[in-house]
Amino acid sequence: MPRPLQSKPWAHVCKILIKLSYTDKIEYCKADDRGLPDFRCRDLKNHKATVILGHREKASVIKIYPEDEVWTCEFNKQGHLSGIGIVNKGADLTVIIH
């Protein structure tokens, strides 16, 4: 059985600006009871995504503040995103697909 994908939390201490390219997509979802984002897409298998706790408006630049929780996640072969932790169950998420 393959090892499950791991999400990597960001360790940032200052404001970060993420400039989106024309190929980046922004989607919104919630974390389920196991801390997994409920956004799934088979076409995105093996892609990476940036997941931000909370809802962010669509813009050409996304601002990340030091108090924000952010992860780099991966889509598996079935198109499921890696988890962000059970403590975040039910939370609104912003997913930036790269």
Single out the residue of 58, 84, 93, 95 nearest to residue 4, CA to CA: 84
Q: What is the pLDDT of residue 42?
A: 81
- The span from the CA of 7 to the CA of 70, in Å, is 10
d(CA 63, CA 19): 9
User: What's the pLDDT tens digit per position in 35-89?
Assistant: 889 988 888 888 899 999 999 998 889 999 999 999 999 988 888 899 998 899 8
Q: Is the pLDDT of residue 2 over 70?
A: no
Q: What is the pLDDT of residues 19-36, one digit of tens each?
A: 999 999 999 999 999 888
d(CA 63, CA 70): 11
- 54-71: b (≥16 Cβ within 10 Å) or e: eebeeeeebebeeeebbb
Q: List the structure tokens of 22.
A: 């024309």
Say whether pLDDT at 1 is over 50: no
pLDDT of res. 94 = 95
pTM over 0.85: yes
Contact at 8 Å (CB) between 95 and 51?
Answer: yes
